[in-house]
Amino acid sequence: MDTKAILSMNKASWEQSAERFFGRAALPEFGPFAPTEDELKLFGEIQDKKVLDIGCGSGHSLKYMGDKGAKELWGLDLTTKQIETAREVLHSQSPPVTLFESPMEVNPGIPSDYFDIAYSIYALGWTVDLAKTLTHIHRYLKPGGRLVFSWEHPMHDRVKPTDSGYRFEQSYVTEGPEYNEAWHKSVIIHHRKLSTYINTLIEAGFEMERVIDDVALPEVVPEGDRYKWYSVEKAKLVPVTFIIKARKK
Ligand SMILES: C[S@@+](CC[C@H](N)C(=O)[O-])C[C@H]1O[C@@H](n2cnc3c(N)ncnc32)[C@H](O)[C@@H]1O
């Protein structure tokens, strides 16, 4: 399947599923079992900063940025339903809001050397072309601007629960497009090693500042935990979410 066909399949699936995700992966959260921005303070001062959200979904992370005093709120997302919801969520924000319905693999009209902060919460890994996407983001940032993003750790879906323990079911080292099991094969996500994210950032002109794959566990283990996609028991063995902070040189 070529890039266009994958994007069109993923978009169709997101249009159907969008509501399940409204506000589900949004700042100050970085994702399942990850430490939050309240603890990590990766963004530093947000007041008066121009921010860009890649895969902004329902706009809840942009709202967080607006509430923290960002000067301009920009976002893009592939899914019509997400952009429509983001417009509603952000309608009472006072800083100017600019939203694009667009895949992150193309530039829909975002200025160069403009943003202090670009970020992506559980969205960047959807890209069909990581190098192209990171090159675009690098161009949008001012020199010294920061990119912060989170995504599911590439080790997480390789390991599956069994009745007696856990089994490695898929290769960590073999990369490429895969039907995603959690989405019942209605989307394609590229499996990439953590080193591929890091090396592609470096090749795009970023300097690495932090890589975080710590696990923050809840005190209470929920009923039926073992077979949930995000399970506490499993999170004690393999990282669930990774977060990267990088700087445009
Ligand atoms: C888990 S949601 C992100 C939630 C969002 N970051 C927030 O803060 O609320 C993932 C988003 O990625 C978007 N997405 C998937 N593939 C994309 C692509 N190639 N380009 C742009 N957005 C994409 C989906 O439409 C979805 O809204």
Virtual torsion, Cα 60, 66, 68, 69, nearest 10 deg: 170
Which CATH number fits the domain that encloses residue 148?
A: 3.40.50.150
pLDDT computed for residue 24 by the predictor: 78
d(CA 125, CA 127): 5
Nearest alpha-carbon partner for 120 in 38, 211, 209, 25: 25
pLDDT computed for residue 21 by the predictor: 75
> Counting atoms of ligand 1 from 1, which one is nearest the CA of 121?
6
- Residue in this structure with the two tokens 């339903």, named with its chain if needed: 81
Question: Tokens at residue 202, please?
Answer: 């470096």
Residue nearest to atom 16 of ligand 1 (CA): 126
Question: Tokens at residue 63, please?
Answer: 């709202």
Q: What is the mean pLDDT of the chain?
A: 96
Task: Supply the pTM of this predicted model.
Answer: 0.97
pLDDT computed for residue 39 by the predictor: 97
Question: Tokens at residue 185, please?
Answer: 């094969």
pLDDT computed for residue 184 by the predictor: 80
Residue nearest to atom 10 of ligand 1 (CA): 123
∠ CA 109-54-19 to the nearest 5 degrees? 115
Low-confidence ranges of the chain (pLDDT < 50): none
Q: What residues contact residue 92 under an 8 Å CB cut-off, 6+ apart?
A: none
Total domains in the chain come to 1
Q: Where in the sequence is the domain holding 223, given as residue range(s)? A: 3-248
pLDDT computed for residue 19 by the predictor: 83
Residue nearest to atom 1 of ligand 1 (CA): 122
d(CA 88, CA 97): 11
Nearest alpha-carbon partner for 240 in 182, 187, 175: 182
pLDDT computed for residue 181 by the predictor: 81
pLDDT computed for residue 20 by the predictor: 78
d(CA 207, CA 205): 7
Q: What residues contact residue 95 under an 8 Å CB cut-off, 6+ apart?
A: 66, 70, 71, 72, 73
d(CA 25, CA 23): 6
pLDDT computed for residue 25 by the predictor: 78
pLDDT computed for residue 1 by the predictor: 86
pLDDT computed for residue 122 by the predictor: 97
pLDDT computed for residue 216 by the predictor: 96
Cβ pair 48, 35 in contact under 8 A: no
> Counting atoms of ligand 1 from 1, which one is nearest the CA of 57?
27
d(CA 166, CA 244): 27
Q: Which of 15, 74, 77 should be mutated for ligand 1, with most atoms under 8 A from CB?
A: 77
